Amino acid sequence: MKNRVLVAPSILSADFGKMNEEIARMEECGADMIHCDVMDGIFVPNITFGFKMISDIKKHTSLPLDVHLMIDKPERYVSRFIDAGADFLTFHVEATEKTIELLESIKKAGVKCGAVISPDTPTMALYECFPLCDIVLLMSVYPGFGGQKFIEKSLERMRELKQMREAAKSSALLEIDGGITEANAASVAAAGADVLVAGNTLFSSEEPRKIVEKFHSL
């Protein structure tokens, strides 16, 4: 039997001026982790926040921090994000030539590690990663900005990752990020997603608790 789908609100869609309140609201709604998108303006054409935001958030929530690095050469900063309090730390395979080495170093530090692929990257790019990964993240929009529309081919790509995980006899969680809504969440979960990252869908809702409960029931 499939475990309960996990919900990871993306703070990219939160009001940064009242971050504590925004995170507390998600925690009260039953969210399972907090998704933190770190962007450097190089790997993606946007800049968000860095180590201090992660460490400050860590002080104000008991939820695991799911830190998603959308940065060039993540190996330069992984140790800093571990020290800042990341519980899950993921990076893009497109951004480094040291994928396996980096996964091993994160895992050695006692943090759950994961690899990410963007929409145009073949799912096979993750094949060798599965034995090491605690989580695998599929982008269902192009990385860089929140509020984008879900890319439909992501459903088939998630099914491919599910088959890949089974072949590797891996227990890695399958996570999906981008354009997740109440309308498509069931299809995404049915395709194999264990963790749904949702930004606007949750933070713009007056009743996010109902959405979290709906996602948990998928």
Percent helix, percent strand, percent coil in the chain, to nearest 5: 40, 20, 40
Residue 199 has pLDDT above 90, yes or no: yes
- By percentage, how much of the chain surpasses pLDDT 90? 96
Residues 6+ apart with CB under 8 A from 158: 138, 174, 176, 188, 191, 192, 193
Residue 148 has pLDDT above 80, yes or no: yes
**Nearest-angstrom CA–CA distance, 12 and 167:** 34
Query: In the structure, what pLDDT confidence band is assigned to residue 2 with cuts at 50, 70 and 90?
Result: low
Q: What is the pLDDT of residues 97-115, one digit of tens each?
A: 999 999 999 999 999 999 9
**Residue 37 annotated in active site:** yes
Q: Which of 32, 37, 40, 194 is catalytic?
A: 37
CA-angle at 50, arms to 103 and 193, nearest 5°: 50
Q: How many Cβ atoms from other residues are within 10 Å of residue 59's Cβ?
A: 8
Q: What is the pLDDT of residues 11-51, one digit of tens each?
A: 999 999 999 999 999 999 999 999 999 999 999 999 999 99
pTM of the predicted model, to two decimals?
0.96
Q: What is the pLDDT of residues 49-81, one digit of tens each?
A: 999 999 999 999 999 999 999 999 999 999 999
**Nearest-angstrom CA–CA distance, 188 and 174:** 11
The domains found in the chain, sorted by start residue, are: 6-216 (3.20.20.70)
**pLDDT for residue 1:** 40
Q: Which of 32, 66, 177, 194 is catalytic?
A: 177
Q: Give yes or no for a contact between 44 and 21, defined as CB atoms under 8 angstroms apart.
A: no
Q: Is 180 left (phi over 0), alpha (psi -120 to 50) or beta?
A: beta
Burial classification of residue 78, based on how many CB atoms lie within 10 Å of its CB (0-12 exposed, 13-18 middle, 19 or more buried):
buried
**Residue 177 annotated in active site:** yes
Residues 122-137: what's their mean pLDDT?
A: 97
**Nearest-angstrom CA–CA distance, 63 and 86:** 11
